[in-house]
Amino acid sequence: MDESVTCTRRLEWDAMHRIPRHESKCAAFHGHRYAVELTLRAGLDDRGRVLDFGVVKSLVGGWIDANWDHTAILQRDDPEPAVRAIAESNARFGRPVYWMDAPPTAECMAIELARVARELLAPTGVQLVRLRLWETPNGSAEWVLGSEGP
């Protein structure tokens, strides 16, 4: 019998963003305590695991720490003049700005992180089947394998 099991690892970080053209408060710069749940599928290894949780933390968590934690996640073509000032300030403090081609909504960030996580986890042989990105304790976006679109 060919069985597979899933496991889920949660990671958390802090970052700021703004949503250009948002019709309410999210048009302003603001921060969140983000969290992500990554659900992975594979057959169990010889130790009875899909993948050691520490590997997920090291690979995906390491990428988050380097690119998204304590920084600004902004849209590349955001017309707000303060965006450039934030980028310059972050550079002075040794922190990047993460530039997205899409608005940094929870939905677009989930798609972006799923793309990155799939690349980072590919050498391990596990398959990312679900990613839920929490922007607030009561608001999240979910990416599911097979939902990448056309």
Active-site position among 26, 37, 107, 142: 26
Active-site position among 70, 88, 119, 148: 70
Q: Which residues pair with 73 in a beta bridge?
A: 17, 98
Q: What is the DSSP string of 110-142?
A: HHHHHHHHHHHHGGGT-EEEEEEEEEETTEEEE
70 is catalytic: yes
26 is catalytic: yes
Active-site position among 17, 108, 112, 135: 135
Report d(CA 35, CA 81) in Å as an integer: 29
Active-site residue numbers?
26, 70, 135
